[in-house]
Amino acid sequence: MKKSDTGLKKRISEPVKRVDGPLKIKGEAKFVDDYIFDNVLHAVTVRSEKPRAKIKSIKIPPLPSGYFIVDKNDVPGKNRVKMILDDMPFFAEDVVNYIGEPILLVVGPDLEKVYEIASRVKIEYEDLPPILSIEEALTSDKPPIYGVDNLFGDYYFEKGALDSCFKKADLIIRDEYRTGYQEHIYLEPQGMMGVYENGRVTAYGSMQCPYYVKNALVEALGWPEDKVRVVATTTGGGFGGKEEYPSLIAGHVALAAIKTKKPVKLIFDRKEDIEVTTKRHPSLIKFRTALDDNHNIMGMDVDIILDGGAYAGLSTVVLQRAMFAATGVYRIPNVRVRGRVVATNKVPSGAFRGFGAPQAFFAIEMHMHHLAQKLGVDPLEFKLKHALKKGDYTSTGGLIRSEVKLKEMVELIDSMSRYRDKYREFKKEREKLKGIGVSLFFHGCGFTGKGEEIIKGKVKLRKRRDGKVEILVANVDMGQGPLTTLRKIVSHTLDIPLDDVIYENPDTDRVPDSGPTVASRTVVIVGGLLERAARELREKWNEAPELEVSRVYKHPEYIRWDQERMEGDAYPEYSWGANVVEVEVDPVTYEVEVKGIWAVYDIGVAIDERIIKGQIEGGIVQGLAYALMEKMEMKNGKILHNTLTDYIIPTSKDFPKIESCLVENPYKYGPFGAKCAGELPFVGAAPAVCAAIQHALGIPVKKIPVTPEDIMDLEEKESED
């Protein structure tokens, strides 16, 4: 344990080496549906068929012996899922607010019979007028779904003197951008199992946040914390979709297990999962921008409205991250940002990779592109002219303390893609509809404002008598790689073999609350705590055969944040990115073929380059699909694209090889200099490909997804104008 820190940093980013000999692959992962208990019962959810209605009556068919109904009357504590506003019921009470809202469970030993009983439950409704769009939510005279103003959140911040700069402006440009729903399509659908034994309840399931689930169960049951246990099974993908939603179905299986005194399993099929689980928030984002006669942006007024669906969930914090990204990577001296999230009678919106930033960055990047075209200047040079640098202040007045390497990243991506040359060449070569687009973006690491200090994430390291070290954290591996990266951080710090570091799926009986597996925080926040804990353990190593050390997160002392005014350092640090996408648009079918993808990122120091490469490629493909093909529409509150036949996701053949590289820029407080990486690759893909389409067509792209039909409409409108 005498390696120098310099030597450790040189080795940390190397991928884990394979052992000599043939690679052996074993299917040993145990997902929630693989858990076997004696006398297990199956649950099926009976759901609302109305977007908004009063429940007048519920008629239950005769139940065979061993079959049960579980509903609102079986909730001994609070019939609300604990989150932020605590407005979503575990089971509907007198009113339903979206198609798919849970009303009751049918539970029994034979799954086919349970489905048959559920199909015979008859519910009589009295229809209420639904609110089905952002516009209706803001202007309708229909009774509000939430509060008196139908807003889950309404926030505002300002920097500088915006009104006076608009009076002095040489040019004022207005723009409006929209984004649609996106479905997570994790490989493993939502699933939970509840077990009641010896006066305690245990929820096993596919989740990102074990302590979210535990806290929700404690409140629903009204029980002491030591009577509730949550075990995260191997999680087959999440992307945010298993952040808040598992708390709802964990409550269902726990209540059912307590009532039946038997283990209860609830596993969604794909259609149900698509229809009823949370989605990415649709958005409407408006800009009013003032420029002087030298093409400098003097001020920017931004209005962000998100569609939160029927219940608040995490919408207010999704909105805040969107607001903090509203002016992008740009230095805007005078700023006003208002953000609202409305209630509608549609499936609740929730966490999704990027958490509000993808909507905001699509809008600001396309707006900057549009401003440049209006001024007759090169979009990339216009963006670089306004780009933030060290010593500048963000839209919330936070100081940029670290080096910003955007210019270096742009030069690198230009040499990789020949962006500048192609941008000029494609303008001249009009027989083919070729285009190339660029995006610049960041992602704030960890929770916003004082979020991390409110959570006070705690980690433990336990040295065992056999010399192995166990990582005790609540964070989940859902495919993003912490089972490797967190173990590498500990093994390198202690200078012990990777195989001597143990990290198992979290069990709240064994691990402290290190916070949820969200917000790109697992490596930079939790990994940083583990590195510091490992340094302490290294110093104490010879004191005893068994040792335990722990660490609790504290922000760097320089962080200042006023939540009431939304002023100060919104994040402790930022990761940065640049994307270039080249396209060719078919002039007959209007299909978009992506011909090239290039990406450069500053994530500090990569803990494992192979994992980061997977994050980059997966994030970009998911972001391109968000922009081009993942279309989800609703009619009268019902999702029309509810199967993988109708909701189109990308395959490996839809996009070309991605060329990417990293620019090293260590973060002082990150483990071995690491910053956040998981969400960043998603954020810049949509604006880059849409800028390329706009370049190819010469027509503004202001809405995603942009399908061939949408492009045809754009062409027709342009020709009419």
Using alpha carbons only, give the angle 543, 549, 550 rounded to the nearest 5 degrees: 165
For the chain, the average pLDDT equals: 95
Picking from 563, 601, 595, the residue whose alpha carbon sits closest to that of residue 579 is: 601
Using alpha carbons only, give the angle 565, 569, 574 rounded to the nearest 5 degrees: 140
418 found inside a domain: yes
Q: What's the rounded mean pLDDT across residues 274-285?
A: 98
CA distance 701 to 693: 8
Picking from 461, 484, 592, the residue whose alpha carbon sits closest to that of residue 531 is: 461
Same domain, 462 and 397: no
CA distance 676 to 384: 23
Q: Specify the pLDDT at position 2.
A: 39
Position 546 pLDDT exceeds 80: yes
Distance of CA 368 to CAs 81, 322, 337, 383, 682, Å? 40, 17, 16, 7, 19
Backbone phi, psi, residue 341, to 5°: -125, 125
Q: What's the rounded mean pLDDT across residues 255-260?
A: 98
Instruction: Quote the pTM value.
Output: 0.96
Contact 208, 243 (CB under 8 A): yes
Picking from 702, 706, 683, 648, the residue whose alpha carbon sits closest to that of residue 183 is: 648
Beta strand 567-568 with 122-127: parallel, antiparallel or unpaired? unpaired
693-707 pLDDT, tens digit each: 999 999 999 999 999
Q: How confident is the model at residue 13 (pLDDT cuts 50, 70, 90)?
A: confident
21 found inside a domain: no
CA distance 376 to 354: 32
147 found inside a domain: no
Residue with the two structure tokens 């002039």 = 587
Distance of CA 615 to the CA centre of its chain: 14
Position 7 pLDDT exceeds 60: no
Q: How confident is the model at residue 428 (pLDDT cuts 50, 70, 90)?
A: low
The whole domain housing 672 covers 283-448+566-720
Position 332 pLDDT exceeds 80: yes
Backbone phi, psi, residue 365, to 5°: -70, -40
CA distance 357 to 576: 13
Give me the helices (H) in 226-292, please.
245-260, 270-276
User: What is the CB neighbour count within 10 angstroms for residue 67?
Assistant: 18
Same domain, 697 and 715: yes
381-396 pLDDT, tens digit each: 999 999 999 999 999 9
The DSSP 8-state label assigned to residue 386 in this structure reads H
Same domain, 336 and 409: yes
638-685 pLDDT, tens digit each: 999 999 999 999 999 999 999 999 999 999 999 999 999 999 999 999
Q: Specify the pLDDT at position 3.
A: 41
Same domain, 443 and 459: no
Q: Specify the pLDDT at position 715.
A: 83
Same domain, 302 and 267: no
Q: Specify the pLDDT at position 15.
A: 78
Identify the domain boundary among 225, 251, 276. Answer: 276
Percent of the chain with pLDDT over 90: 93
Backbone phi, psi, residue 514, to 5°: -90, 5
Same domain, 570 and 691: yes
CA distance 513 to 381: 46
What is the domain count for the chain? 3
Element (H, E) at 291: strand 283-291
User: What is the CB neighbour count within 10 angstroms for residue 616?
Assistant: 22
Contact 679, 521 (CB under 8 A): no
Using alpha carbons only, give the angle 49, 54, 59 rounded to the nearest 5 degrees: 65
Q: Specify the pLDDT at position 24.
A: 60
Q: How confident is the model at residue 22 (pLDDT cuts 50, 70, 90)?
A: low
Q: Specify the pLDDT at position 4.
A: 40
142 found inside a domain: no
State the virtual CA torsion across 679, 682, 684, 686 in degrees, nearest 10: -150
149 found inside a domain: no
DSSP secondary structure string for all residues of 50-113 = SSSEEEEEEEPPPPPTT-EEE-GGG-SS-SS--SSS----SS--SEE-STT-EEEEEEES-HHH
Same domain, 442 and 362: yes
Q: Specify the pLDDT at position 134.
A: 98
560-583 pLDDT, tens digit each: 999 999 999 999 999 999 999 999
Position 326 pLDDT exceeds 90: yes
Distance of CA 410 to the CA centre of its chain: 26
17 found inside a domain: no
Q: How confident is the model at residue 17 (pLDDT cuts 50, 70, 90)?
A: low
Q: Please report, for the domain that includes residue 334, its CATH number.
A: 3.30.365.10
The tokens describing 437, both together, are: 């687009």
Identify the domain boundary among 225, 255, 276. Answer: 276
Q: Specify the pLDDT at position 344.
A: 98
Contact 518, 240 (CB under 8 A): yes
Position 8 pLDDT exceeds 50: no
709 found inside a domain: yes
Q: What's the rounded mean pLDDT across residues 437-466?
A: 96
Extract long-range pairs of 137-142: CB within 8 Å, 24+ residues apart: 137/307, 137/342, 137/343, 137/344, 138/305, 138/340, 138/342
Three-state DSSP at 35 gives coil
459 found inside a domain: yes
Same domain, 676 and 698: yes
Position 183 pLDDT exceeds 50: yes
Contact 303, 91 (CB under 8 A): no
Contact 229, 200 (CB under 8 A): yes
69-110 pLDDT, tens digit each: 999 999 999 999 999 999 999 999 999 999 999 999 999 999
Query: What residues contact 431, with CB distance under 8 A and at least 6 apart?
Result: none
User: What is the CB neighbour count within 10 angstroms for residue 133?
Assistant: 17
CA within 13 Å, CB half, 483: 12
Element (H, E) at 612: helix 609-628
Q: What's the rounded mean pLDDT across residues 592-602?
A: 98
Same domain, 414 and 500: no
Same domain, 313 and 403: yes
Q: What's the rounded mean pLDDT across residues 463-478?
A: 97
Q: Which residue spans within 498-560 are E strands per DSSP?
A: 501-502, 547-552
Contact 111, 267 (CB under 8 A): no
Q: Specify the pLDDT at position 28.
A: 78
Same domain, 676 and 594: yes
Identify the domain boundary among 276, 294, 324. Answer: 276
Q: Please report, for the domain that includes residue 81, its CATH number.
A: 3.90.1170.50
Same domain, 189 and 88: yes
Q: How confident is the model at residue 193 (pLDDT cuts 50, 70, 90)?
A: very high
CA distance 100 to 88: 13
